[in-house]
Structure 1
Amino acid sequence: MQGGFPIDLILFAMVAAFLVLRLRSVLGKRTGFERPPQAPGVPGAEARTARAEGVQEEVMPARRDGARRAIPDARGPVGQALSRIAAADRSFTPDAFLDGAEGAFRMIVAAFAQGDRQTLRALLDDATYAGFEGAISARENAGESQRTEIRHMHEMAIEGADLRGHTAEVTVRFTSDQVNMTTGRDGAIVAGSDAITEVVDVWTFQRDVSSGDPAWKLVATRSV
């Protein structure tokens, strides 16, 4: 057709504009748990923040695979600490933090099972990484393989929070159904099983809120 503007170009432009807006809405959200693109129950680590007693929890709507969320009441000591963190870091909200914490939990559990040191190095502080790396090395030296699958996340609950100077810490309790199994060189099971087991992990994340780096790093873990 001569003399007219091609209608297919208009349609392609509309589709391209829609895709750009969708990508911005997804990729533009930062929780501080993103894995840097070029970033290069584990023994030896202990949680440093205990659960506050007698604190009311706010139950949030389930996300992802239906996990229950619990956020301490703003009037309690943990809730007040979360408010101080939010005042120091305007991008922080407890709900968005749990989004990122769940993603980090899944990445770290998978990376540990696979022996992916590069991912672990980006998401853990030095001391915690040393514990994870030591366990991976021992497993490799023994010729063992780890299989870990998170089948369902039941609950994520913020149990503790603190702001000391510019250092913020938030402790999360993860309750999930997992399959954990270690096999030897011959494929025989040496630890765990292929049965689904409920696992409760308590992890503490830390961040310097004065830093331009939004990353939270795992600094302590324990299993309940």
Structure 2
Amino acid sequence: MQAGYVALSLLASTIPVAGNEQSVAGAVHPKAGTYKLQKIQPAPSGWVLEDSVWIPRRLSSYTKDKITLFSFFYATCRDPEGCPKSWDAFNKVHEAIKKDPRLQNKVRLVFLSLDPKVDTPEMMSFFKTSISTPQAPWSFLTTWNDTYLAPILNDLYVPASREFDDAGKPTDVINHLVKVFLIDKDSWVREIYTTSFLNPDVVLSDIGTLLLEEE
């Protein structure tokens, strides 16, 4: 779908918006329910932590029974094209869910930390408490260490590595490819967004498509 969206973006200035299309940030995107999202791959499993280091949970418990928007982040990320951009998109989707009864209790958001040493369950709990609502849950997960994180990254083909300074010492910068995954209630990845295509309106349209598919 992303390749098609690129083509539509390039032609947006010359193609009129039809009845089954909508204008999204200067581009043309099909309306929810007028297109199909293919099953790309199963969502990964693995062990994660949320509120306590003593209570491990399966990642799969956060990717089933609801439509899930999932991505990786870390709290000290400062790259404007990295985690802050993902956070902004997630926040806009989150606000839309809170305002739309058709989306409430049907969609969840999930962030998994790339920096388990710094992003402890206590810190993740702070994010969740300040943002999440029962009707629009937003989970902030971490792992015990990189050993538990690596298989999840590998399953989703997300490269991530810590940056080192000139003296060979690790910094607090983690270079990673930003990917956002839209996962259906049966734990199938149905769309993958990169920063170039991370438009909240498009994400919401895709969520609407999956909801209509369920109906």
User: Which TM-score bucket, shorter chain as reference?
Assistant: under 0.3
**Which structure's relative contact order is higher, taking Cα pairs within 8 Å and 6+ residues apart?**
2
Q: Please identify which structure carries the higher strand content.
A: 1
